[in-house]
C-alpha cells in the first residue's frame, strides 16, 4: 500500500502545493504496518472477509522490505499493550478481560489475552498493583514465559500449533475486541496506583483464611457426596459458619473503630441457563449481606459487599451451582406426549426453582446464626452494626449503579421442572437442623 505524500519545496508560495509539488514518497514500514492494522480493524466489524484476509496476508507473509515480519510483530505487540491499558482505564480487571475474551472469541484468544496482560503488567511497580489484581494474575497464570519479546510470536505459534497467519489474525481480533470494551464501574484501584497502606497480614486476615478453609472443606464434601440430604446439610452448615464469621468480623471491626467499607467482585455467570444462574448468585449474595448486579451481555455479575462476605459468596455460589447442575443432569432429559424435547424448558424451570428454594434456606440459616449471636451477646450492640453495614452496601450500589433497573425474574413454563428443582433444593427438610447446628458448634 503506497500513498502520495506531499512535501513542500522551498520557494512554494505560502507553502501551498501545486501539481509539481507532489512526490511519490513511500511511508516507512512502521507507518505502512500501522495503516494495514487500522484497515484490518475497520474491515473486521464490516465482515469484509476478502479484504480482511488480504490485509492479514500482507501483515503476516510479506517479506519485502527486509525485516518486515519483526517490525510487524513489534507494531502488533505495541497495539496489544495499549488495548490492555485501555481495558484497565475502562474499569476492567484481568479476570474480567480473559473471561470475556474467551466468551466472545475462543480459548486461544483468551490465552493470547493472558499473555498480553502479563507483558503489559511489567510496566508497573509491584507496590502499585492491588492485592486483588495479583491474586487474579496468579489464578490466570499470567506470567512472561517466553525468553524474549521478539521471539514471542514464534513461540506462541509453536505452543498453539498454528502458523504465523493465525497469530496475526488472533492478535487483530483481540485488539478489536479490547478496544471496543464498554466502560465499567471501577471496583478497585487500577495498576499504577500507589498504595495508601500496606497489605493486611494481621490476625483477622489469618482467621479469614482458616474460616474459608473450613467452608471449602464442607462444600467439597457436599459436591462429592451421592446423598442429596447430606449435601444439603453440609451446605447449610457452611452457610451458618459463614454467617457467624461475618457477624464476628463486623463486631470486631466496630470495636476497633475501623469498619472499612464495601468492595466489589465480578463473578462469572455463564450460558447455558444464565438467567437462573444469575438468580442463584443473587439469592446467595442477599443471604450474605451482599448485592449482585447482573451484566447479562458481558457474562458476569458485579457483587458488592464487605470483603470477607464477598469471598464467601463466590465460594458458596460456585459450590451450589455444581450441586444444582449435578441434580439437574441426574433428573435426565424430558419429552412431551408427542415426543418433542422439553429438556431445555425443564432445566430452566429446575434451576429457577432450585435458586428460589435455596434462597429461602440460606436466609433461614443466616437468620438463625444472627439470632443465636444476638442472644449470646448484647443484641442492642449487634443489630445496629449489621444495619450500618447493610446501609453501606446499599449506598455503594446506588453510587456505582445510579441508573440500575430492577426487573422481575423470567417466567417459568415447565411446571414439572419447577417442582423437581424445588425438591432438589429441599430434600433435606431441615429436620437435620439439630445435627447441622450441633456440628457447627463443634467446629
CB 369 within 8 A of CB 244: yes
Return per-residue pLDDT of the chain as tens, 443 residues. 444 443 444 444 444 454 455 556 778 999 999 999 999 999 999 999 999 999 999 999 998 888 999 999 999 999 999 999 999 999 999 999 999 999 999 999 999 999 999 999 999 999 999 999 999 999 999 999 999 999 999 999 999 999 999 999 999 999 999 999 999 999 989 999 987 655 544 444 544 778 878 888 888 888 888 877 788 788 888 888 888 888 888 888 877 777 788 999 999 999 899 999 999 999 999 999 999 999 999 999 999 999 889 988 999 999 999 888 888 888 888 776 666 777 888 888 889 988 888 888 888 888 888 888 888 766 557 888 899 999 999 999 999 998 887 655 454 455 455 545 555 555 433 333 333 333 333 33
Check whether residue 403 and residue 283 sit in a common domain. yes
Q: What are phi and psi of 394, to 5 degrees?
A: -60, -40
Check whether residue 318 and residue 240 sit in a common domain. yes
Task: Please name the residues in contact with 92: beta carbons below 8 A apart, sequence gap of 6 or more.
Answer: 100, 181, 184
Cis peptide before 65 (omega within 30 of 0): yes
Q: What is the dihedral of CA 324, 330, 336, 341, to 10 degrees?
A: 80
- Domains in the chain, number: 2
pTM across the whole model: 0.80
237, 350, 441 from 7: Cα distances, Å: 78, 71, 84
CB 244 within 8 A of CB 373: yes
Q: Does 356 reside within a domain?
A: yes
Check whether residue 306 and residue 429 sit in a common domain. yes
Last residue in a domain, options 179, 195, 227? 179
Check whether residue 230 and residue 97 sit in a common domain. no
Check whether residue 49 and residue 114 sit in a common domain. yes
Gap between the Cα atoms of 345 and 179, Å rounded: 37
Q: Does 390 reside within a domain?
A: yes
Total count of residues recorded for the chain: 443
Q: What is the pLDDT of residue 153?
A: 97
Last residue in a domain, options 144, 179, 214? 179
Q: What is the pLDDT of residue 146?
A: 97
Task: Please name the residues in contact with 106: beta carbons below 8 A apart, sequence gap of 6 or more.
Answer: none
Q: What is the pLDDT of residue 378?
A: 60
Check whether residue 396 and residue 343 sit in a common domain. yes
Q: What is the pLDDT of residue 277?
A: 94
Check whether residue 251 and residue 372 sit in a common domain. yes
Q: Does 51 reside within a domain?
A: yes
Gap between the Cα atoms of 248 and 238, Å rounded: 15
Q: Does 438 reside within a domain?
A: yes
What are the grid coordinates assigned to 332, written together? 435426565
Question: What string of DSSP letters covers 171-232?
Answer: HHHHHHHHHTPPP----SPPTTPPPSSPPP-SHHHHHHHHHHHHHHHHHHHHHH-S-HHHHH
Check whether residue 268 and residue 327 sit in a common domain. yes
Check whether residue 251 and residue 370 sit in a common domain. yes
Q: What is the pLDDT of residue 422?
A: 57
What are the grid coordinates assigned to 375, written together? 442472644
Domain that holds residue 98: 29-179
Check whether residue 61 and residue 99 sit in a common domain. yes
Gap between the Cα atoms of 269 and 3, Å rounded: 48
Q: Does 383 reside within a domain?
A: yes
Q: Does 187 reside within a domain?
A: no
Looking at the DSSP assignment, which residues form a beta bridge with residue 22? 6
Q: Does 196 reside within a domain?
A: no
Q: Does 215 reside within a domain?
A: yes
Task: Please name the residues in contact with 443: beta carbons below 8 A apart, sequence gap of 6 or more.
Answer: 214, 237, 241
Q: What is the pLDDT of residue 27?
A: 83
Task: Please name the residues in contact with 306: beta carbons below 8 A apart, sequence gap of 6 or more.
Answer: 246, 249, 250, 260, 261, 262, 263, 289, 290, 389, 392, 393
Check whether residue 54 and residue 117 sit in a common domain. yes
Check whether residue 212 and residue 158 sit in a common domain. no
Residue 195, Ramachandran bin (φ over 0: left; ψ between -120 and 50: alpha; else beta): beta
Amino acid at each position: 500500500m503506497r500513498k502520495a505524500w506531499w512535501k513542500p519545496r522551498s520557494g512554494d508560495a505560502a507553502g501551498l502545493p501545486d501539481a509539481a509539488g507532489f512526490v511519490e514518497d513511500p511511508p516507512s514500514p512502521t507507518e505502512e504496518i500501522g495503516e494495514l492494522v487500522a484497515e484490518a480493524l475497520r474491515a473486521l466489524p464490516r465482515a469484509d472477509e476478502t479484504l480482511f484476509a488480504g490485509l492479514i496476508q500482507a501483515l503476516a507473509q510479506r517479506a519485502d522490505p527486509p525485516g518486515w515480519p519483526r517490525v510487524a510483530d513489534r507494531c502488533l505487540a505495541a497495539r496489544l499493550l495499549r488495548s490492555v491499558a485501555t481495558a484497565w482505564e475502562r474499569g476492567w480487571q484481568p479476570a474480567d478481560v480473559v473471561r470475556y475474551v474467551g466468551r466472545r472469541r475462543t480459548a486461544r484468544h483468551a490465552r493470547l489475552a493472558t499473555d498480553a496482560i502479563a507483558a503489559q503488567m511489567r510496566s508497573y511497580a509491584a507496590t502499585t498493583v492491588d492485592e486483588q489484581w495479583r491474586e487474579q494474575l496468579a489464578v490466570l497464570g499470567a506470567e512472561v514465559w517466553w525468553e524474549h519479546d521478539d521471539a514471542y510470536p514464534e513461540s506462541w505459534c509453536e505452543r498453539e500449533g498454528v502458523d504465523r497467519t493465525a497469530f496475526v489474525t488472533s492478535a487483530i481480533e483481540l485488539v478489536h475486541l479490547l478496544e471496543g470494551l464498554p466502560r465499567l464501574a471501577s471496583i478497585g484501584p487500577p495498576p499504577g496506583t500507589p498504595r495508601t497502606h500496606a497489605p493486611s497480614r494481621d490476625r483477622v486476615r489469618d482467621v479469614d483464611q482458616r474460616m474459608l478453609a473450613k467452608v471449602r472443606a464442607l462444600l467439597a464434601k457436599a459436591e462429592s457426596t451421592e446423598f442429596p440430604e447430606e449435601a444439603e446439610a453440609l451446605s447449610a452448615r457452611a452457610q451458618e459458619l459463614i454467617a457467624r464469621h461475618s457477624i464476628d468480623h463486623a463486631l470486631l471491626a466496630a470495636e476497633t473503630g475501623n469498619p472499612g467499607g464495601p468492595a466489589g467482585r465480578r463473578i462469572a455467570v455463564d450460558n447455558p441457563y444464565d438467567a437462573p444462574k444469575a438468580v442463584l448468585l443473587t439469592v446467595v449474595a442477599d443471604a450474605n449481606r451482599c448485592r449482585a448486579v447482573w451484566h447479562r451481555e458481558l457474562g458476569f455479575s458485579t457483587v458488592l459487599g464487605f470483603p470477607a462476605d464477598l469471598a464467601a459468596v463466590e465460594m458458596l455460589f460456585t459450590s451450589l451451582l455444581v450441586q444444582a447442575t449435578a441434580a439437574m443432569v441426574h433428573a435426565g432429559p424430558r419429552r412431551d406426549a408427542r415426543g418433542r424435547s422439553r429438556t431445555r424448558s425443564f432445566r430452566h424451570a429446575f434451576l429457577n426453582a432450585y435458586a428460589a428454594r435455596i434462597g429461602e434456606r440460606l436466609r433461614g440459616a443466616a437468620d438463625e446464626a444472627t439470632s443465636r449471636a444476638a442472644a449470646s451477646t448484647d443484641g442492642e450492640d449487634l443489630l445496629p452494626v449489621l444495619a450500618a453495614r447493610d446501609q453501606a452496601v446499599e449506598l455503594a450500589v446506588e453510587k456505582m449503579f445510579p441508573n440500575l433497573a430492577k426487573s422481575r425474574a423470567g417466567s417459568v413454563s415447565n411446571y414439572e421442572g419447577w417442582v423437581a428443582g424445588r425438591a432438589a433444593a429441599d430434600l433435606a427438610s431441615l429436620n437435620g437442623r439439630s445435627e447441622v447446628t450441633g456440628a457447627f458448634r463443634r467446629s
